[in-house]
Every structure is written in structure tokens, then in C-alpha cells.
Amino acid sequence: MGTEPELVESTPTTTAVVRGVIGFAEVRDFFDTSFQQLGRVLAERGVTPAGAAFGPHRDASTHGREGVLALEVGFPVDSGIVAEGDVVPGELPGGRVARLTHVGAFDGLEESWKRLASWIGARGLSPSTTRWEVCTTEPSPDGDPAELRTERRTGQWTGGGRPGR
């Protein structure tokens, strides 16, 4: 369940991130540990996130390992940061971005990716290997999973299409 896919123009966004190449079973722990580190480093530097938390999935094939994800988790920030420990500066890409909003529990996220990929393919576009999710509602142990909203985004491709179509 969620919104209809759309094409939009995006500007590059400066970020503070933690990166890792991890197995599928490690995703939850990676997110928890990384967001703790990000929160500590940003607070120590007096930096307030400039938007919602996000998690890019990058192509892991260059790592020569199957069954792994190359992930980042982080926050957009208004200015660059200096690396400290695992927290490093990063950037979300600008350009054309296809997006939709997934509404509901995380176990339905993969179906949203498939729906977005199908929509992109039907328009003769070829998505990049970079895709990311933006947590527009913050997950919590006490929250109702049916109320979660997660934007799915992919960008930087070749082919036709205009923003908004």
C-alpha cells in the first residue's frame, strides 16, 4: 500500500552517514548501532539533522561477496562534517529520482521496491544501482506498524521520462 510512483528533480544533499557491507541478518543491528553513533557525533558537534533519517542501498557486487548489502544510514545536514569513527560525510545524489511512499510495516518494503521498479521499466527507464529509503515516520517499539511511512527512491538513470510522469 502507498502512493503512486512519480518522477521528481532532486538536488544533491550533504549527509552524515555510517557505511557498512553486511549480511542480510545484520541489517537491524547495523541500523541501531549506526543511528546511536550518528546521534552521539551530531549532538557533540551541535549539528541538527536537516531532514528525516535515510538508508541507501548501494551495489555490493564490487565487494565480491554474495548475500550482502552495501548500506549507509544517516541524516541530511546543512553543512559538511569531519569524519569521526564510523561517522563520515556523504551525499545523496541529485537529478531525476523516482519515488513512492510505502505505508505499513517493513515486511512489505520489498513489494514496494518491485512496484517502483516495474513502474520505471514501463517508462523505458533504467534505474541505477543506488536506491534509498527515507523514514518519514520514526519507527518505535510502541508504534503501530500500519502507520509507518517510508519513501522508496531510486535515481540517476538513463532513458526518457519527465519529472511528474
* pTM score of the predicted model: 0.79
Q: Are 127 and 96 in contact (CB under 8 A)?
A: no
What ranges make up the beta strands (E) of 93-130? 95-103
pLDDT tens-digit series, residues 106-150: 777 778 888 888 998 898 887 777 788 888 877 666 778 777 777
The CATH number of the structural domain formed by 6-155 is 3.20.80.10
Q: What is the pLDDT of residue 62?
A: 47
More confident position, 24 or 140? 24
Q: What is the pLDDT of residue 75?
A: 95
pLDDT tens-digit series, residues 26-76: 888 898 899 999 999 999 999 999 999 998 776 655 455 677 778 889 999
Q: Are 156 and 114 in contact (CB under 8 A)?
A: no
Q: What is the pLDDT of residue 164?
A: 45
Q: Where are the domains of the chain?
A: 6-155
